[in-house]
Amino acid sequence: MTFGASLRALRLRYGLSQRALAEQLGAGFSRASIARWEHVGPPQHGPWLERALRLCEFFEVTFDELIGSPS
């Protein structure tokens, strides 16, 4: 499963829209960034690792579970 697919599955498991997830996570997250991450994957620049770790804490999953494994 890819990072985007994993993020989407976790978001849906929690019953959250992209906007609701962004609001729950606060600064550094927007509905557009959540959508982009789900469809394109994590950015290749910027502080995305810090944001990914915040997602792990929010969903109570490991980083490996969030980023998925290569197929």
How far apart, in whole angstroms, are the C-alpha atoms of residue 6 and residue 26? 20
CB neighbourhood size of 27 (10 A) = 7
Please tell me the pTM assigned to this model. Answer: 0.69
Taking only the tens place, the pLDDT of each residue in 16-44 is 999 999 999 988 889 998 999 898 877 66
* Domain limits, the chain: 3-67
3-state helix, strand, coil in the chain (%, to 5): 65, 0, 35
CATH topology of domain 3-67: 434 Repressor (Amino-terminal Domain) (1.10.260)
Residue 3 phi/psi, 5-degree rounding, is -55, -50
Segment 43-65, tens digit of pLDDT: 665 567 788 888 899 999 998 88
Q: For residue 29, count other CB atoms closer than 10 A to its CB.
A: 20
CA distance 47 to 17: 23
